[in-house]
Amino acid sequence: MLEEYDHIVIGGGASGCVAAARLVTDGGRKVLLLEAGHSHHHPLLDMPPGIFKLINGSKYMTYHHTVPQDHLNGRVHDIPQGNVLGGGSSVNAQVYMRGRPSDYNEWDELLRGNNDGARWDWATVLDHFRGIEGNNRLANDLHGTDGPLLVSDPGHIDDVSRWFVQSVQQMGEPFTNDFNGPTQRGVGFYQFMNRRGKRSSSAYAYIEPLKADPRLTVKLRAAVRRINVENARAVGVTYRDASGVEQTAFASGDIIVSAGALVTPKLLMLSGIGPAAHLKSHGIGVIADLPGVGQNLIDHPEVPVISLANGPYGYYKQGVGWRMLKNGLNFKIFGNGPILSAGFEAGAFINPIDRGGVPSIQAFCVPIVYLDRDLLKVFDDGYGVTITTVLVKPKSRGSVELRSANPDDMPLVSPNLLKHPEDMKIMVEGQRFFREVLQSGPLGKRISKVIAPAGPDLSDAAMADHCRRFVKTNYHPASTARMGADGDSDAVLDARMRVRGIDNLRVSDMSAVPNINAGNTNAPAMMLGDRCADFVLGHG
Ligand SMILES: Cc1cc2nc3c(=O)[nH]c(=O)nc-3n(C[C@H](O)[C@H](O)[C@H](O)COP(=O)(O)OP(=O)(O)OC[C@H]3O[C@@H](n4cnc5c(N)ncnc54)[C@H](O)[C@@H]3O)c2cc1C
């Protein structure tokens, strides 16, 4: 039977779910949403601390591995991405963050003059953020309360998080009760995309309400292999269905690629859209020579400052044995306890070089000794506190390339985290700042020693060594098929998210952003989906 739709959305992630749902609800369109991953219904996905299990090995994740990173002494690290309806929004740590107004004003500036009337400035995107947001505490010009994405304060706050906030305040940083407020700088408690311990993903917020709507067809375990283009117009897709059979679906209107910043460029390239020489080297016929596809990969690098505690503080062993049972019962019977927390609650945005200046580092206070699975065995277990430090506006750029012309092969990913000397310089100062936090104020009283970077050598060289050894992704790959103005040779999309040179084809996911926002990327990805639907429907 011929599968025909008005639109096909490739990838039901943070962005794709929003775009698909809005095309149905606001456009009355018939939409096929193809998602390579699993259903989002599983208790591990719902409960905030589930993230620790997900990161360390789960069918709900796709683990991309980088190519050896020469500047990190040949290290290879993982970049896990959601493999489930909702994509990253179903597996992430749920921190609700949008970045700062200047992030979006910068995009708008880059696209100015060639934007065909499409604006990306803060005032424009703020309308979308507010429309999506259902905040249960903050109701003001910067926050929405009625949107489907449920946002709330942490349901549980560990003492370690409170001590962290006090210690950073003692270092001269102001307390903030809203990192998405008028200024980003300060220390405080994050807001999370959940309500009473249950995740609010784009799958829950946007797709669940349409479960019975015949205009939306959602296919799970349906991995798109290529986009079919005829006479420079996208007409359909070829995908492998849940039983492993290859199928073709057709769209009369726009096809939207939302497979995430690591897979979207791969799909474009497999379809003949990308750097001509690279495509030819894999025997792929060139339909559109777009050199920027797969280039300009940006990710937020994360480096931990790790300490051991002098007492039984934090979340160590809270997820095993009798403590797990106690926490489970507390959650079930009284609706409280650590199961309401993603494993951290407090954070900070600071500038360690120009104190008081525009923040360059975002920090998360994790009340355990915490490392990703490829580094887990480095330290002995025990009570401890880790402050993960994340560079919010990195200058390093990487790439995503084809390994082969076989859609089953993972792409070659080279994020080049901390390769740019300025990135390393800021990160080194960030390590110094948070080492000091761990040794100051109420937190300092509970720490026996900082074990990484351990000292006594705290020279730039020693700090940089630590960064090279431990840097990893903060899970925010972006910009691999970015929007740009006419004449920008790396621009893959125009300001309306249309693929240059191909009709009826748009990209709506973190690939599309001209630069990464300063902070976590889930809410921005959802904003992109909302915006893309408007463009398709002629509202934007
Ligand atoms: C472990 C982790 C923790 C994170 N923590 C936070 C956080 O606390 N706060 C925050 O704001 N952000 C966080 N993020 C980042 C955020 O979730 C992502 O930036 C966001 O999900 C990106 O949205 P997207 O639409 O670009 O891509 P994704 O959400 O990754 O969606 C892409 C979708 O495409 C699907 N797909 C892939 N290939 C195919 C194919 N061939 N055919 C069909 N479908 C395909 C994938 O399965 C996926 O569902 C985290 C991410 C991860 C992975």
Cβ neighbours around 529 below 10 Å, total? 29
> Per residue in 324-366, pLDDT tens?
889 889 988 988 999 999 999 999 999 999 999 999 999 999 9
**Domain range summary for the chain, segments of one domain joined by +:** 3-133+200-298+476-537, 155-189+301-391+418-470
110 lines ligand 1 (CB under 6 A): no
CA of 309 to the centre of ligand 1 (A): 34
Q: What is the mean pLDDT of the chain?
A: 95
Atom from ligand 1 closest to the CA of residue 525: 23
Mutation test of ligand 1: which of 22, 248, 509 has the most ligand atoms closer than 8 Å to its C-beta?
509
**Percent of the chain topping pLDDT 70:** 98
Separation between Cα atoms, residue 540 and residue 538, nearest integer Å: 6
Residue nearest to ligand 1 atom 9, measured at CA: 95
Residue 373 pLDDT:
62
pTM: 0.98
Q: Is residue 293 over pLDDT 60?
A: yes
Q: Is residue 377 over pLDDT 80?
A: no
Q: Is residue 111 over pLDDT 70?
A: yes
Intra-chain end-to-end CA distance of the chain, in Å? 35
Identify the helix (H) or strand (E) that includes residue 348.
strand 346-350
Residue 374 pLDDT:
59
State the alpha helices, DSSP H only, in 396-521.
421-438, 441-444, 460-470
Atom from ligand 1 closest to the CA of residue 407: 41
Residue 527 banded pLDDT, cuts 50, 70, 90:
very high
Residue nearest to ligand 1 atom 17, measured at CA: 88
Segment 310-317 mean pLDDT: 93
CA of 61 to the centre of ligand 1 (A): 9
Residues with catalytic function: 476
Mutation test of ligand 1: which of 85, 92, 189 has the most ligand atoms closer than 8 Å to its C-beta?
92
364 lines ligand 1 (CB under 6 A): no
Q: Is residue 95 over pLDDT 70?
A: yes
Q: Determine contact, residues 332/197, Cβ cutoff 8 Å.
A: no
Assign 250 to helix, strand or coil.
strand
Separation between Cα atoms, residue 441 and residue 288, nearest integer Å: 58
13 lines ligand 1 (CB under 6 A): yes
> Per residue in 469-480, pLDDT tens?
999 999 999 999
By C-alpha distance, which of 149, 108, 102, 152 is closest to 128?
149
| Class of the CATH domain delimited by 3-133+200-298+476-537 | alpha beta
258 lines ligand 1 (CB under 6 A): yes
Segment 493-517 mean pLDDT: 98
Count of helix runs (H) and strand runs (E) in the chain = 15, 26
CA of 460 to the centre of ligand 1 (A): 35
State the alpha helices, DSSP H only, in 338-495.
421-438, 441-444, 460-470
CA of 508 to the centre of ligand 1 (A): 12
- Specify burial of residue 323 (Cβ count, 10 A radius: 0-12, 13-18, 19+): middle
**Residue 212 or residue 377, greater confidence:** 212
Residue 53 pLDDT:
85
Say if domain 155-189+301-391+418-470 classifies as CATH 3.40.50.10300.
Answer: no
347 lines ligand 1 (CB under 6 A): no
Half-sphere exposure of 306 (CA within 13 A, CB side): 24
CA of 14 to the centre of ligand 1 (A): 6
Q: Determine contact, residues 132/147, Cβ cutoff 8 Å.
A: yes
